[in-house]
Amino acid sequence: MNSLKKLIKDKSPWLSVFDAFNLIKNKTDLELDYEIAELLISIEINEFCIPYDKSHYFDGNPVRLHRDFDNKQFSKMDYLLINLASGSITIDDFNLDFKNYVWFKDDFFYQFEHFTEINLENSEQRDKIYKNKTLDESKTFPLYFKNEIFSVHEASCLMTGYNPTSTSRCSNKVSWLEQHPEYEEAFDFIYSAVKSGFFGEFVNEGQYLEANRLKEFFSDRGIYIDGFNKNIEPNYIMEQTKLKDYQRENQELALKINKLEQKLQQEILQSQLLQSDYQSSQAEIKNLKSVISEKDKTIQKLKDDVQKENGEVFCLSMDLNSAKNDFQQLKLKYEDLEAKLLISTPSSTLNILDQIFDESATERYSPDLVLSIKLWESIYINNPKNDSHSNKANSWITMNTGYDLSRPSATKLREITTPFINWSTHRDRNYKK
């Protein structure tokens, strides 16, 4: 009978604590749970392999078991191994944590063999993942050699022979870099060229490098890599690189011209609107001056009448006070309009939020920017709640957009509106120049 349970376990990318201990017992001379736990703690398995909890999911993935280094606290996986090592608990089928607490299977196998030289997997697939090799002789080089663009990490792996997939999670760890100094040397070598502008204007640390430009970079420095830039005509590389450079420059110029034309149209429209406001204010001021002049005449006439008609002094006095009051109000309104006129003299600045929310301006309207502003205003200004940023953002996105929470569209909104204090340690914090 074929075992479907075994098939599911083999296909799963996760390795539970329960399965890991059974594998080690079958592949090594360790038989006791506390011995295995002590070994895993000594090789710092949780430092190199991130632990997760499969009983809780977020965005379609198991929740990561974090360590709280500020409060000197371990993760739940750390405490589980510590309790196993102390002998206070043993592996059994009743404690669900042994089945729910997991590592990435490939990471665990790689790190375990790296420290113990014992291969727990015994599969041909492992060689493909971690040694950049294959049993198929017809496929000599890794597929990523044919990429059109490369990250600095991938280019460093090209030079040193490491696999970019298997090293992506550990290439930024100090302990791993100390054991593989050639990788760090290659990374610094390539990154210095990136910052110098060899691969185009420096944008950020995550900048990608064009394949032909990278081949030219290696060849100019006498670095030849089989399957990548070895036995390739330098002239061909140079011509292809120049062609792509010209195409990129043309595209950049076209974009700049388009932006300048749009800005010119905006300036013309703003000038017309401000000129119209200015003319309207001038007309209103002229009208108010006329009204004030008429009121002055009325007041003077009332004064004359008071002097002639002593019998009607009281009534005329009331009318005079009323007229004076009207005059003062009109005068204040006139002065206010004059002040506003000075402020509203033609300027090239309009309310930036009005421009951002103007849906009719299709040439610049950015839906995700508008949604980000509305999301941030809702959860931090209008309706603040004592909850995590992700939960508050997910609730708003579900109620106000058609975005799927597991898709990158929703992820972007959550990340853009995340307060700086809540940024993860993996996020680039250099938002200031």
Q: What does the pLDDT look like over 327-372, one tens digit per residue?
A: 788 878 877 777 776 666 544 445 899 999 999 999 999 999 999 9
Contact 160, 228 (CB under 8 A): no
* Lookup result for tokens 């011209």: 257
Position with higher pLDDT, 404 vs 57: 404
- Rounded-to-integer distance, Cα 225 and Cα 125, Å: 24
The secondary element (H helix, E strand) that includes residue 393 is: helix 389-400
3-class secondary-structure state, position 104: strand
Look at residue 150 and tell me whether its pLDDT is greater than 90.
yes
Residue 327 has φ and ψ, to the nearest 5°, of: -60, -45
pLDDT of residue 2: 46
Q: What is the pLDDT of residue 275?
A: 77
Average pLDDT over residues 188-215: 86
Lowest mean pLDDT among 151-165, 242-256, 411-425: 242-256
84 has pLDDT over 60: yes
CA distances in angstroms from 327 to 33, 132, 254, 283, 306, listed in the order given: 96, 91, 60, 19, 18
Average predicted confidence (pLDDT) for the chain:
81
Lowest-pLDDT range, 14-18, 36-40, 135-139, 337-341? 135-139
For the chain, percent of residues with pLDDT exceeding 70: 82
Indicate whether 95 pLDDT > 80: yes
Q: Tell if the pTM clears 0.75, that is, is over it.
A: no
In the chain, % helix, strand, coil (3-state, to 5) comes to 60, 5, 30
- Among candidates 165, 159, 218, 204, which has minimal Cα distance to 183? 159
The first and second tokens of residue 309, run together, are 């008609």
CA angle 275, 277, 279 (to 5 degrees): 70
Q: What is the pLDDT of residue 363?
A: 94
The amino acid at 111: Q
Q: Give the amino acid at 81.
A: L
Name the phi and psi angles at 55, rounded to 5: -85, -10
Per-residue pLDDT at 51 exceeds 80: yes
What are the C-alpha distances in Å from 354 to residues 45, 365, 374? 54, 11, 13
Residue 125, CA distances (Å) to 106, 132, 134, 154 in order:
10, 11, 8, 21
Between the CA of residue 126 and those of 136, 145, 155, 163, what are the distances in Å?
A: 14, 19, 22, 12
Show Cβ contacts of residue 191 under 8 Å, excluding neighbours closer than 6 positions: 152
Q: Residues near 54 by Cβ (< 8 Å), separated by ≥ 6?
A: 14, 16, 62, 99, 100, 101, 102
